[in-house]
Amino acid sequence: MNTLIQSCINNKFSKTPIWLMRQAGRYLPEFRFIRKENQDFIQLCLNTQLASEITIQPITRFNFDAAIVFSDILLVPYALGQSVNFKKDFGPSLEKIDFKILNDVKKENFLKKLNPVYETIKQTKTKLSSNNKDMIGFVGAPWTLLLYMLNRKSPKEGNFSVFPKDKNINNILMKLDEFLKIHIEAQIKSGASIIQIFDSWAGLLPEKDLEYFVYKPTKSLVDFIKQKKTISICFPRNINSYKKFVDNVNPDIISIDYNVNPLIIRDTIDIPIQGGLDPKILLQSKEAVKKEVTKYLKTFEKKRYIFNLGHGVLPETNPDMVRYLVDEVRSFNGQ
């Protein structure tokens, strides 16, 4: 039986699927309880039992149409031999790349390091088996991972420069292409029916660099996912032209951020669309939430649309507002 998201793609279902980026996270008290006892974030992601429990938490609460595995895009640099730590009130901190280690990484060692993620997907998929829900796996896009690996922290402060297209950069991009495909395939084999590619920092690049850093390397992953007969979702956050991205990369679904005009997306893009709602709306009144939900649902009423946010759920969000959001989406469709 097709899930709601698969049916949406095939244009065979009238109801709007809903799931949220970071739906398993800090806004949930049940997550905070686990996190308090597990200070090492990387090790928490690699704890199959706890990661599966966390993945299921928002499904239990809100009955979303898809679960997304509790993991992190920076597990790939970690498995490639680069030390990754998460510091409170700072975010990710990465050690300098050791190119000798990077060049010597073997597939079997990479898979061994990340095997707990695949076991998490298997366990969660089993728990979801009777619920007709998608299991979403994910990776960071090559550009975003490259930026973290070389910048060694989040570029939120604008503290980075576009890297030269030299031998070292090309080497990293080739390694990322090779091992992201290994990671994607392992997630699919474990039960992921969708792979989302997060390009969190695509919007930082000038137009002239998109072909090299974004379009070409992301298309390589999308084509690979299609070869595996699996659905791809791309989220090139804050990119200047989603249409150009879609034309160049050709994902199955495009996920949009909250800074883009949804009317432009509706009128220029033909593939299924996901997302768009500003997560900060959930910090406001129910009236504001209802207004924005209705805006997006009416805008995409005649399109293939998956309801989601234009970024992840904010930590300070009240779970009751998420419940209200879900109820509004489902009542719009008479669900």
Segment 291-317 mean pLDDT: 96
Domain 4-332, what fold? TIM Barrel (3.20.20)
Q: How confident is the model at residue 187 (pLDDT cuts 50, 70, 90)?
A: very high
pLDDT (tens digit per residue) in 252-295:
999 999 999 999 999 999 999 999 999 999 999 999 999 999 99
Is residue 313 predicted with pLDDT exceeding 80? yes
Output 97 or 132, whichever has higher pLDDT. Answer: 97
Largest CA distance in the chain: 58
Segment 299-315 mean pLDDT: 95
- Please state, for a pLDDT cut of 70, what percent of the chain lies above it: 95
Is residue 335 predicted with pLDDT exceeding 80? no
pLDDT (tens digit per residue) in 208-226:
999 999 999 999 999 999 9
Segment 162-173 mean pLDDT: 86
Is residue 157 predicted with pLDDT exceeding 70? no
Cα(276)–Cα(274) distance, integer angstroms: 7
Q: What is the pLDDT of residue 159?
A: 64
Q: How confident is the model at residue 156 (pLDDT cuts 50, 70, 90)?
A: confident
Closest CA to 276 of 262, 294, 290, 287: 262
**Dihedral of CA 86/276/12/223: which sign?**
negative
Q: What is the pLDDT of residue 326?
A: 97
Bridge-partner residues for 137, per DSSP?
Answer: 195
Q: Is residue 11 classed as helix, strand or coil in its secondary structure?
A: coil
